[in-house]
Amino acid sequence: MPLDGANFILSPQNFRSPRQVLETALAAERIEPVAPRRLCWHMAEQIRRHPASWAYRQQRAVELAQVAVLTAGVVSFVALFSTNRIGWGGVAAFAAFAAGLMPLLLPVKGPASWRERIIDDLYEVPAAIREPALRLRSRLPEASYVVGELYQDRVRLDPYLVAEYGEARAILGIWDGDTVIARAAAA
């Protein structure tokens, strides 16, 4: 019978958690991952170093100032136009319109945020971080690799690489452009 349990094999691997499997694979390849607290500190530091701009944080006040300037421009235009000062009314209207539009024309930097995505091609990772990842992939092909990236206004600032197996994670490296900030060490 197919469901009588005679073909069910209990192996030690059936009782190991994903964390144990990942740690065993890392130990077999002599890879010492980056400490999770190092990544937490790095992530917090990068968020601190890339804050939103003043105009973004004060956008309600800027909007109210725009309304006030445009209202003052319309009032001064009407007042000057009604007193036959058409030239000065046009200048006042143009100045108020330009001052009201200026915040819309200036670049405003929003807050930075971390995003993660799964990657298959490890060749977008620096070589110093890619090498242990490839060794781990040969030992544990079921593991997936996640790149976390800090974005601020669609600009990628500072990525990191994490190996995942089930709910277990091992940090393999942090880099910024060509500069490796932290990487898994060969034990």
Mention every residue, 6+ apart, whose C-beta is less than 8 A from residue 153.
109, 110
Torsion sign over Cα 26, 32, 34, 37: positive
Tens-digit pLDDT string for the chain (187 aa):
455 555 555 555 556 788 899 899 999 989 999 999 999 999 999 889 888 888 888 888 888 888 888 888 888 888 887 888 888 888 888 888 888 788 778 778 888 889 999 998 898 899 999 999 999 999 999 999 999 999 887 777 779 999 999 899 999 999 988 888 999 887 6
> To which residue do tokens 């930075």 refer?
112
What's residue 97's pLDDT?
82
175 Cβ contact list (under 8 Å, min separation 6)? 125, 126, 129, 158, 159, 160, 181, 183
pTM above 0.95, yes or no: no
Residues contacting 110, CB < 8 A, separation 6+ = 52, 53, 56, 152, 153
At 15 the pLDDT is 66
Per the CB < 8 A criterion, the answer to whether 96 and 69 are in contact is: yes
For residues 182 and 162, what is the distance between their CA atoms, to the nearest angstrom?
12
Q: Domain segments of the chain: what residues?
A: 16-51+111-186, 54-105
